[in-house]
């Protein structure tokens, strides 16, 4: 007798509401690494991808960032690695606010380098002396900041989940969200964020119903107007 396999459940996802995210971003604003957290929140990029982005990967004029490599930690040793898969190699659009944050950060880095602008191959988010930021330290900065705030405790990786969840709740197509996150396929994204989709399904049903009601009301109005013209 064969036992039926239970369908695999998606991983637990924790995410902030938009007001909670803004509270965190306001609180971290005074920290030197605030631009990196702002960048992470607005792109949904993985921790290593954020810390591995180079200046050459940024097109500030077009408002785009190319994800090509990541800063990874293995047994606490840090190295540069290619991103995980072909879909992880992607281009993400960023808004004007993020572009301005990056422009300001470029000025900061130039000042820290005694007036010498960073090179194209330099990592964007580094220490003041230009050395790499250890991914674990980056996470600790996040954790320490959240611990001081009246916010649900989430991990740095959940900032990525927050980005995706807020977009999905706002009606952004799941395929677009999947592409921003660099997921292997849309089905994986739907599995991870299935907790968001039921609400979207209900909203879709309501939207369809409104379309039908509006069309019937329009037809009824047209018929009344036609009879009035006879």
Domain assignment of residue 223, yes or no: no
Sheet holding 58-59, edge to edge: 58-59, 64-67, 90-93
What's the rounded Cα separation, in Å, for the pair 169 and 166? 5
Residue 3: inside a domain: no
Tokens of 113: 């380098």
Q: Which of 127, 56, 98, 38 is nearest to 69 (CA)?
A: 56
pLDDT at residue 230 greater than cutoff 70: no
pLDDT at residue number 200: 66
* Euclidean distance between CA atoms 129 and 198, whole angstroms: 48
Confirm whether 203 is domain-assigned. no
Residue 78 domain flag: yes
In this structure, is residue 50 part of a structural domain?
yes
Q: What is the pLDDT of residues 101-129, one digit of tens each?
A: 999 999 999 999 999 999 999 999 999 99
Q: Is the pTM of this model over 0.75?
A: yes
- Give the SS3 label for residue 39: helix
**What is the radius of gyration, based on Cα positions, of the chain?**
23
For the segment 133-149, the average pLDDT, to the nearest whole number, is: 98
Q: What would the pLDDT profile of 74-96 be if each residue is shown by its tens digit? A: 999 999 998 866 778 999 999 99
Q: Which own/partner pairs from 114-118 qualify as long-range (CB within 8 Å, at least 24 positions apart)?
A: 118/55
Residue 6 within a domain: no
What DSSP state is assigned to residue 73?
E
3-state secondary structure of 93: strand
Q: What total of structural domains would you count in the chain?
A: 1
- Domain ranges, residue 157: 18-192
Q: Which long-range contacts (CB under 8 A, 24 or more apart) does 105-114 make?
A: 105/35, 106/55, 108/35
Residue 72: is its pLDDT beyond 60?
A: yes
The predicted pLDDT at position 183 comes to 94
Q: Tokens 């064969």 label which residue?
A: 2
CATH number of the domain that 153 lies in?
1.10.443.10
Best CA proximity match to 161, nearest among 187, 192, 136: 192
Query: In this predicted model, what pLDDT tens digit does every residue of 3-31 receive, in sequence order?
Result: 444 444 555 789 999 999 999 999 999 99
Q: Is 196 exposed, middle or buried (0-12, 13-18, 19+ CB in 10 A)?
A: buried
Would 209 be classed as within a structural domain?
Answer: no
pLDDT for 3 equals: 45
Cβ 151 vs Cβ 20: under 8 Å? yes
Confidence class for position 147, pLDDT limits 50, 70, 90: very high
**Contact in structure between 67 and 92 (CB atoms under 8 Å):** yes
Within-domain flag for 208: no
- Type and span of the H or E element at 75: none
Average pLDDT over residues 146-161: 97
Q: What is the pLDDT of residues 154-211, one digit of tens each?
A: 999 999 999 999 999 888 999 999 999 999 999 999 889 987 776 666 777 788 898 9
Is 223's pLDDT higher than 90? Answer: no
pLDDT of residue 148: 97
């Amino acid at each position: 007798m064969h036992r039926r396999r239970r369908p695999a459940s998606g991983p637990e996802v924790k995410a902030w509401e938009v007001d909670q995210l803004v509270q965190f971003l306001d609180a971290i604003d005074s920290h030197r690494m605030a631009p990196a957290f702002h960048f992470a929140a607005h792109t949904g990029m993985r921790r290593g991808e954020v810390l591995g982005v180079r200046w050459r990967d940024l097109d500030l004029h077009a408002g785009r960032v190319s994800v090509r490599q990541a800063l990874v930690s293995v047994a606490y040793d840090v190295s540069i690695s290619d991103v995980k898969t072909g879909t992880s190699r992607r281009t993400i659009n960023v808004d004007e606010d993020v572009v301005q944050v990056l422009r300001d950060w470029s000025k900061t880095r130039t000042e820290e380098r005694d007036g010498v602008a960073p090179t194209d191959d330099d990592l964007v988010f580094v220490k003041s002396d230009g050395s790499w930021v250890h991914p674990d330290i980056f996470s600790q900065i996040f954790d320490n900041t959240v611990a001081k705030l009246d916010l649900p405790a989430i991990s740095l990786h959940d900032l990525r989940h927050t980005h995706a969840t807020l977009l999905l709740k706002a009606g952004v197509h799941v395929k677009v969200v999947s592409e921003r996150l660099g997921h292997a396929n849309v089905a994986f994204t739907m599995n991870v964020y299935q907790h968001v989709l039921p609400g979207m399904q209900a909203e879709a049903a309501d939207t369809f119903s409104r379309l039908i009601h509006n069309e019937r009301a329009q037809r009824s109005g047209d018929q009344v107007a036609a009879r009035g013209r006879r």
